[in-house]
Amino acid sequence: MRWASLRCFASIGIALFGCAPAHAEDYVVVDTDQALCYDDVGEITCPLPGESFYGQDAQYQDRPMDFQDNGDGTVTDLNTGLMWQKTPDFANLREWTEAQTYADTLQLAGYDDWRAPTIKELYSLVDFNGSSFSRIPYIDTNYFDFEYPPPESGLRDMDAQYWSSTVYVGTTMNNDPTAFGVNFADGRIKGYPRDIDVGGIPFARYIRCVRGGNGYGDNGFVDNGDGTITDLATGLMWMKADSPTTMNWEQALDYAENLESAGYDDWRLPDAKELQSIVDYTRAPDAQPPAPQGPAIDPIFDLTDAESWAWTSTTHLDAPQPDFAVYICFGLATGWMEQPPDSGNYVLLNVHGAGAQRSDPKEGNPDDYPHGHGPQGDVVRIFNYVRAVRDVQSATVPTVSEWGVIAMTLLTLTAGTVVLRARRRAAGWVSVTTTKAPRS
């Protein structure tokens, strides 16, 4: 069914019954698999409703990761339907263009339709129980082989980035052409140089190829006209607008949990994969024509700040303590770079691209980080926006007879006169005529 007609049909169902047709979900957002709860500094017993830090990732688990090793060098994701290369070519690091060519020409397990994954496909594999401090990869190594870069490559363990096919429509660093990748060593999405890194060194990384999944990652947004947006592809309903002000992570959890809007009171803070699902990678504030300039989100949504970053409910375990949480950059992913090195001169650059996923301290004072955090000086805000979400399918799914009412309503709206005939057991054919009332 084409999105145009599906949106028209489903929007009526949402308006009448508060839910979308279950079969419309083509973009399955897989869980992060984070199962423990955390406060600002450490692991805690998962809080009860009304308590501080309630509503975090571990307390809303849906569609846990589910893989099948096919025994032929491939792994099938039973949630998304994507088939993955089990063991990447660890013997060769490749620049972005070389990686795309490798994927397009790969023959494995009798298939020749392998390709590089999109950034949303690749991100579906991220397991947020990882930690570079504990050398636990952000991927399920029970199914997927993983290696850190070899010492002779000159790369760090932290440089376990994997290429996607998704090109950044702007530029990063010093106007470098950029493509997105996932770092399975530290659990982040960033834009990386497509060819030459700092110092003129080729930027070469790994690739894990994929096949199948036609259209995975494509959204189907419907404006419900009540301040909410439903994504028919994922079955998630979003607030059309984000929070009017920024807040720290604990405040963000509380804000979403206590939100009442459009007749619903089951709003929550989205997890990392849910929020990343609404990133529009065809847009960026610094996009080069003909790509549209603007935040990396469909303009059907409203943003308080075009350069907004938004909290997720997911704790980022990539620190000595679990005191960082994941956020998504809808604006530029900026950082303070010392240029030239060791000069003491810091320049604010778009280091990772709009659509990046990074993390911030859950609480504190941004002024304590005048030159950011990490190797690229990621700007630290601590106070980020909130875009609340709820599960459309948590509402009652219409019965067959209710969908009949929806169909009749649709017909009534699109035709002046609708004639419906139905055979009754005890009678013959009965003609029922519904006439659209004239305008006054």
Note the Cα 213 to chain centre separation in Å: 16
DSSP secondary structure letter of residue 160: -
Name which of 159-163, 353-357, 385-389, 432-436 the model is least confident about.
432-436
What is the enclosing helix (H) or strand (E) of 163? strand 161-172
Q: What is the pLDDT of residue 259?
A: 98
Mean of the pLDDT values across residues 216-235?
A: 98
Nearest to 392 by CA among 49, 43, 86, 14: 14
Q: What is the pLDDT of residue 393?
A: 66
The pTM (predicted TM-score) of the whole model is 0.85
For the cut 80, the answer to whether the pLDDT of residue 399 exceeds it is no
What is the enclosing helix (H) or strand (E) of 105? helix 96-105
Give residues with Cβ within 8 angstroms of 111, minimum separation 6: 74, 83, 211
Mean of the pLDDT values across residues 327-338?
A: 97
Residues 20-70 pLDDT 10s: 443 345 899 999 999 999 999 999 999 999 999 999 999 999 899 999 999
Q: How many CB atoms lie within 10 A of CB 379?
A: 21
Q: Which domains does the chain have, with CATH numbers?
A: 3-27+31-64+218-392 (no CATH), 67-211 (3.10.100), 401-435 (no CATH)
Q: What is the pLDDT of residue 409?
A: 52
* % of the chain with per-residue pLDDT over 90: 78
Name which of 114-118, 276-280, 433-437 the model is least confident about.
433-437
Name which of 8-12, 99-103, 185-189 the model is least confident about.
8-12
CA–CA distances in Å: residue 128 to residues 141, 150, 194: 13, 24, 26
Q: Half-sphere exposure (CA, 13 Å, Cβ side) for 114?
A: 26
